[in-house]
């Protein structure tokens, strides 16, 4: 855990003049492999990180949510029965989205004084939004005396993004933020929601997260555009094969070649990424289970090339960071992670070369781009829950 309970409690007391009833937390995540596959009903392999969002809360019985975002130094009061977007304080939308979906699910969120404090960097592809949603859900569960199971909680969080926030995102971020486990990655089938916690224990290797410090604008519209392109490919695959199928998960690389003429070149390349990424993710998971860092690293790099050339969600800065990493001793693989267009890379590096790798990566990145990057080192962390 990266946030200490007394820190949150003290900030709450300073704002509200009394002790909170409880403190909950939910982590950010990094995806090891399986990118842009979740909304295509494919496979992902993320891990939760030791960066989290904590919320201290105390119930109120007047139907109000009095909220403070400590990091942003912003306060807002909203009525729980007025579930509308807030243009002035957009951070509260993630919580109002949870309130909205709870009510649709027949649960009653109680009013509360809350203070939010976190250390997941914002807009860097490490899922600060999923961490906030899952922490808020945890708070309402604890105060309301109800409980969702892990997959149900994650699906509620996904609906917050899809319905309240208008992002057609998949289930990965909320799932790992809720269901992650210390020292484990989580292999998830995004169609059945069956998942497996896979121990991460390499002989002399660790993951290094590198932040390009470049958050791209228009991520939401570009993201939804990719979702649409995958839909176009599915329609052409159904027509061309004469088979039923709702998602790219239902088709193979052979199907794609057969149907190539029936779709745009863009849709073809998007589908090629997704279909090959699903194969890579399953094989990479086996390599991770076997502690085979060389094979896992090779799949990570292949994933990055596919995201760069076929899915086109990298950026010059992400490419510079990944290229710089792959040129360094002890690096088994490097790839962009998350939605893309900016944000972070994840690297699999020999532990005994990690210190030199980190220093040289930062130098190489700055030399290539003129930007000062940032390193984030984290063990795989536990999913959301109440703090002691
Ligand atoms: C974002 C979305 C996820 C997933 C990734 C790309 O993080 O929220 O659902 O689609 O992008 O893999």
CA of 26 to the centre of ligand 1 (A): 17
pLDDT per residue as tens digits for the range 281-298: 999 999 999 999 999 999
In degrees, to the nearest 5, what angle opens at C-alpha 347 toward C-alphas 342 and 351? 150
| Per-residue pLDDT tens over the stretch 3-26 | 999 999 999 999 999 999 999 999
**The pLDDT of residue 1 is above 90:** no
| Calculated CA dihedral for residues 162, 167, 170, 171, nearest 10 degrees | -60
User: Mean pLDDT throughout 44-50?
Assistant: 98
Q: Tell how far CA 119 is from the center of its chain.
A: 15
Q: Which long-range contacts (CB under 8 A, 24 or more apart) does 60-66 make?
A: 60/110, 60/111, 60/112, 60/113, 61/110, 61/111, 62/111, 63/111, 64/111, 65/92, 65/95, 65/99, 65/111, 65/112, 65/114, 66/16, 66/112, 66/113, 66/114
The two tokens of residue 16 are 């509200």
Question: Could you tell which of 170, 186, 277, 300 is best to mutate to test the pocket of ligand 1, judged by most ligand atoms within 8 Å of the CB?
Answer: 170
Percentage with pLDDT > 70 across the chain? 99
| Residue predicted with more confidence, 138 or 220 | 138
DSSP state, residue 56: E
Beta-carbon contacts of 355 under 8 Å, excluding residues fewer than 6 positions away, are none
Q: Is 33 in the pocket of ligand 1 (CB under 6 A)?
A: no
CA atoms within 13 A on the CB side of 160: 30
CA distances from 173 to 129, 176, 243, 291, 339 (A): 9, 6, 31, 24, 10
DSSP string, 325-376: HHTSTTEEEEEEESS-SSSEEEEEEEGGGHHHHHHHHHHHHHHHHS---EEE
* Confidence band, pLDDT 50/70/90 cuts, at residue 93: very high
Please state the rounded mean pLDDT for residues 201-215: 95
Domains of the chain: 5-199+381-386 (3.30.230.10), 205-377 (3.30.70.890)
Query: What would the pLDDT profile of 224-267 be if each residue is shown by its tens digit?
Result: 999 999 999 999 999 999 999 999 999 999 999 999 999 999 99
Q: Which atom of ligand 1 is nearest to the CA of 169?
A: 9
By DSSP bridging, strand 43-60 and strand 74-79 are unpaired
Cα(96)–Cα(84) distance, rounded to whole angstroms? 7
Q: Closest Cα to residue 166, out of 235, 207, 226, 220?
A: 220
pLDDT band for 169, please (50, 70, 90 cuts): very high
Q: Is 173 a known active-site residue?
A: yes
Residue with tokens 């070369």, as numbered in its chain: 353
pTM for this predicted structure: 0.97
Please check whether residue 148 is in contact with residue 138, taking contact to mean a CB–CB distance below 8 angstroms.
no
Q: Integer distance in angstroms from the first to the last C-alpha of the chain?
A: 11
| Residue 218 pLDDT | 66
Write down the mean pLDDT value for the chain.
97
Of 93, 100, 113, 173, the active-site residue reads 173
pLDDT number for residue 148: 98
Which of 163-172, 217-226, 303-312 has the least mean pLDDT? 217-226
Helix axes 219-241, 265-289, angle to 10 degrees: 100
Q: Return the structure tokens found at 291.
A: 């502690």
């Amino acid at each position: 855990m990266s946030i200490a309970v007394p820190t949150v409690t003290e900030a709450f007391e300073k704002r509200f003049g009394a002790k909170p009833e409880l403190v909950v937390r939910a982590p950010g995540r990094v995806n090891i492999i399986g990118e842009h596959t979740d909304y295509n009903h494919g496979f992902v392999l993320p891990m939760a990180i030791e960066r989290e969002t904590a919320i201290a809360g105390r119930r109120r019985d007047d139907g109000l949510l009095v909220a403070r975002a400590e990091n942003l130094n912003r306060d807002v009061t909203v009525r729980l029965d007025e579930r509308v977007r807030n243009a002035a304080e957009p951070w509260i939308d993630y919580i109002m989205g949870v309130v909205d979906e709870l009510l649709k699910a027949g649960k009653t969120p109680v009013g509360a004084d809350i203070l939010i404090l976190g250390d997941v960097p914002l807009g860097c592809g490490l899922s600060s939004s999923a961490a906030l949603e899952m922490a808020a859900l945890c708070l309402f569960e604890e105060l309301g005396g109800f409980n969702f199971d892990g997959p149900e909680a994650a699906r509620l969080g996904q609906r917050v993004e899809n319905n309240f926030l208008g992002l057609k995102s998949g289930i990965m971020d909320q799932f790992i933020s809720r269901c992650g486990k210390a020292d484990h990655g989580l292999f998830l089938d995004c169609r059945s929601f069956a998942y497996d916690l896979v121990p991460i224990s390499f002989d002399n290797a660790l993951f290094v997260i590198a932040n390009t410090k470049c958050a791209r604008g228009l991520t939401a519209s570009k993201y939804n555009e990719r979702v649409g392109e995958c839909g176009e490919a599915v329609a052409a695959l159904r027509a061309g094969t004469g088979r039923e199928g709702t998602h790219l998960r239902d088709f193979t690389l052979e199907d794609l070649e057969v149907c190539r003429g029936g779709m745009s070149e863009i849709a073809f390349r998007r589908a090629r990424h997704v279909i090959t990424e699903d194969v890579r993710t399953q094989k990479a998971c086996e390599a991770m289970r076997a502690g085979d860092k060389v094979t896992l690293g090779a799949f990570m790099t292949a994933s990055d090339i596919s995201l760069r050339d076929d899915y086109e969600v990298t950026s010059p800065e992400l490419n510079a960071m990944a290229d710089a990493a792959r040129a360094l001793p002890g690096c088994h693989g490097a790839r962009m992670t998350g939605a893309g267009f900016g944000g972070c890379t994840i690297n699999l590096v020999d532990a005994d070369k990690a210190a030199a790798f980190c220093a040289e990566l930062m130098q190489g990145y700055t030399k290539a781009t003129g930007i000062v990057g940032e390193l984030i080192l984290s063990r795989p962390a536990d999913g959301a829950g109440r703090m002691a």
